[in-house]
Structure formats: C-alpha cells, structure tokens
Amino acid sequence: MSPTGDLEHLTAVRSTFKRCVEAMRLASRSGFFRSGTLLLLAVTSFVRVLAARSHLPNLEKAPIPLDGSPQAPDSASAAPAQEQGQQTGSITGKIVDQSGANIVGAVVKLTRENQASGPETTSNGDGLFAFTHVAPGPFRLIISSAGLASQEFSGTLESGHAYTTPVIVLTIPTQVEEVHVGLTREELAQAQIKEQEKQRVFGVIPNFYVTYDPNPVPLSPKQKFELAWRSASDPITLVGVGVLAGIDQASDRYGAYGQGAQGYAKRYGASYVNVFGATFIGGAIMPSLLKQDPRYYYKGKGSTRSRLLYAVASSVICKGDNGHWQPNYSNIAGSFAGAGLETLYLPPNDRRGSGFIISAAMIRLGETSLAGVLQEFVLPKLTPNHSTRSNRQP
C-alpha cells in the first residue's frame, strides 16, 4: 500500500474508532438500549475497526475525507441519531390543597414499573414541579406532603414530549378516616355526622349541613332525620328564632298577631314552625323519599367563577345517595311544601293564595343559593372546627 494509502487507511481507522466510542457514549447516556439501534451501531462500528486493522477492502466503500470535513451519515446511523434527538422529555405539574391553595415543598418521586426508587423533586412557591431529561415510557408519580394524604399519578411519556399532568389535589385526611377503620357504612356515616356536628360558625352557630369530605358515606333515612332534629333543636337555633321573632314584632310584621307577650309568642311559634318545617321537609323527608343527600358539598378548588356557579346551582343540583349529581328535587319540592305550610298559620291578611306559595318558594330557592355561596367562600374561614382546618398541620 502506498504512503498516501496508508495515511488514508490510518485516518479511516481513527475516524471509525471515534464513531464507535461516540456510539457507546450515546448508548450509556440513554441508560438502556431502548430499541437496540444504538447497540447495532456500536457493534457495526467495532466491526469496521477490525476490518480496517485487517486491511479489508470493504472500508474503501465508505472513504473518510482527509480534510476532516464531516461526512453525511448513512441510513444506519441517521436513524439512531434522530431517535437520540427525541430520546428524553419532561414531566411537569402543579400541586394544590383542598382549598385550591398552592402547596410548597411537596415531595414528588418519579418511579418506573418494577422500580422501587427514583429521582425526587419538590414543588416551588407556585406549587409547580418538574422533571427534565426523562426517558420515554410509562411512569408513576408519588406525591406526598406533611399532614396530607399521599396521591399517585400514572402516565406514559412519549419520546421527546413535554408531559403536563392535571392539577394534583392533596386532601387532608379526616379524623373519621384515621380513627374509625373497619366500621360498617352506616357506622362510618354516623361518625362523619359527629364530625359535622362540631362545625359551628364562630364556634357557636350550627353549620351541620355541609361536608368538606369530597366522598362522604351516604346517610341512611334515619340519619337524615337525626341530623334534621339535631339542627332544629340546637339551643342556638332556638335563640336565633327568638331574635327573628323579636325583629318581626319590632317591625310589626304580621300585625294581626298583636303586640305584647302574646304577640311575641305567636311570632315565635310561626318562625319556629317555618324553620322546623323547612329543615325536616327539605333536609329529611324529601331526601329520604327521593334518596338524595341534603348536605352541601364544599368544592374549594377551581376558578372563582366555577365555584360561584357551583354554589348558586346548589339549590337545584345535588348528589344522590348513589353518588351521582342530579336535579335537587328534594330542595325544590321542600321549598314549595314549606311555603304551603306557611299558609296554615300565617294571619289571613298576610296570605296571597297561590301567588304567595310561588313567591315564597322562589325566595326559599334563592336563599339556598345564597347559603351555597356563603358555604363556598365565607363560612369555611369562620368555622374553626371543620375537618379541613382542624386536621391541617402547622
């Protein structure tokens, strides 16, 4: 072989060996030979080195320029290079609590199938987390934070893609879940009612008809009546009725009742019958017959607009005992039944026939919507004993 040929041969060996080393380096960076293409490239390059050392003529089929200029890759090496360009991707997401507030410092672990450990990261001040240079394929995220119930999320990362998870909500485990393990559904529902009966606005005013658990156990008919009685007979309810009766007397509402102790007693009785009837008809009788849940389900997450619409619609939409959302027939029927009941004890001059029943029922429905708005945006902040706040770690 001529000196020029030897130089060309040496250059070919050196360049081919570099390609072999580069292929092995790329393979090791990927962590595994995902499709076997990188392994094939490495073996092919190694064979070319051996062929060059043995002065095999097949090297002359792919001469390498002496000036060091890059050579266009053949089809066997172009495919692995393209695959390597799409090899890794990223996984990002956001973590919030039950009220929609960002969670800072939540630990997020990335694991693979049949893999016990993996990389970890934490959420920042905006509740955001990110994993970069992630190999494609199925993955699982394990999210945890002090005082909150852990969550898991699974997905599949495509080659070279940026995967964004849905907003991950970490809920606060209720005392019922922690303490009352192994109970029957009815016993668990009873334990949840006991937790609800601790809910009082300013620590005083009953706020029993709201649940902060997104998936509470349905109430039995007996429990619906017990909850209605507990609300209607609460001492604070009786005091509140007295205050309303005093206001009615001061404004001479229902003037036919007169004034003095007798007039006050009539107004008190009328107001209490109103409260008692509305509580039992809309919160126990109709929900038992129609198998619906009389409680307000606190949403606590999403945009202000979505939460407002949800709260306003609570007067006409509720959850059934089967766990599905449905028209709130209980509240609608209860509103009309309660308005009809009022016509039995109000003074004749204050009754306006069917028009009175319709207007009174619509007022009741409007009051239910307003109560939903208060439950969603105001009362949780004023109810120190509800489960979301009482179980929050400092």
pLDDT score at 71 = 40
**What is the pLDDT, as a whole number, of residue 100?**
81
Instruction: For residue 151, give the CATH number of its domain.
Output: 2.60.40.10
The domain boundary residue, chosen from 42, 62, 85: 85
Q: Is there a single domain that holds both residue 205 and residue 349? A: yes
Query: Is 79 in the same domain as 11?
Result: yes
Number of domains in the chain: 3
In a shared domain, residues 27 and 120: no
Q: Beta-carbon neighbour count of residue 306 at 10 Å? A: 11
Domain that holds residue 339: 175-390
Q: What is the pLDDT of residue 394?
A: 31
229-233 contact pairs (CB < 8 A, 24+): 230/197, 231/206, 231/279, 231/283, 232/275, 232/276, 232/279, 232/280
Which of these three, 118, 135, 170, is where a domain ends? 170
Same domain, 321 and 373: yes
Clarify whether residues 152 and 196 are in a common domain.
Answer: no
Q: Are residues 58 and 93 in the same domain?
A: no
> Does 224 share its domain with 324?
yes
pLDDT at 98: 74
> Within this chain, do residues 24 and 71 fall inside the same structural domain, yes or no?
yes
Tell whether 194 and 324 lie within a shared domain: yes
- Averaged over successive runs of 10 residues, the pLDDT of the chain (394 residues) comes to 52 56 45 40 46 42 40 38 64 88 92 80 94 91 87 88 91 54 78 89 92 88 95 95 94 90 93 90 95 94 90 95 92 89 80 78 92 93 66 35
Q: Does residue 19 share a domain with residue 150?
A: no
Q: Among 170, 189, 221, which residue terminates a domain? A: 170
Say if residue 311 is in the same domain as residue 263.
yes
- Please check whether residues 258 and 363 belong to one and the same domain: yes
- Residue 226: which residues within 8 A CB-CB, separation 6 or more? 193
